[in-house]
Amino acid sequence: MVHGDESAYRAALAGALRILSARDHSVAEITRKLARRGYAEDVVLAVVAECLRLNYLDDRRSLDQTIGRLKRKGCGVRRIRMELAQKGLAGAAAEDRLRESFGSGEERAVALAAARRKWKALQTEPDPRKRVQRLQRFLYSRGFSEGIIYEVSAELDALST
């Protein structure tokens, strides 16, 4: 690299390391962030290559962490798929990993756990119909399918009557 490029490379690498010290990022995320900070494309590519070589960047690790975090938060497959796409982690590998993470009935179990937590907060709503509707909107915003939302909300509504 030329002398000017060397200092830009060092600054970009330092910036990438600061970014990565907070949490894992995907290659696409770190590339976007460095480009947004004004680094030239060749500098960004060199920094990404170095981070990959040092194993500071790993899309598989970032994929697993994102899926795990959102699953613990109580999100469904649709919401997780959307967030993975925003992080540049969409594709066949992401879909396979998502399917592995949610075994049969597991998405329903995650939805039920999230719904139970929300249901407690909704007990102040005097109208039972509105309570169920609010629960359904909550589950929809968390990315669960309509079938799961209906099953879970019907189960909780039946338990409360």
User: 68, 67, 46: which is closest to 57 by C-alpha?
Assistant: 46
Query: For the chain, first and last CA: distance in Å?
Result: 72
Residue with tokens 């999100």: 75
Q: Are both 41 and 78 inside the same structural domain?
A: no
Q: Are both 74 and 112 inside the same structural domain?
A: no
- pLDDT by position in tens, the chain (length 161): 544 578 899 999 999 999 999 989 999 999 999 999 999 999 999 999 999 999 999 999 999 999 999 999 999 999 999 999 999 998 898 999 999 988 878 999 999 999 999 999 998 889 989 999 999 999 999 999 999 999 999 998 887 76
Assigned token pair, 94: 């992401």
Claim: this prediction has a pTM higher than 0.85: no
- Count of structural domains, the chain: 3
Number of H helices and number of E strands within the chain? 9, 0
- Boundaries of domain holding 156: 106-160
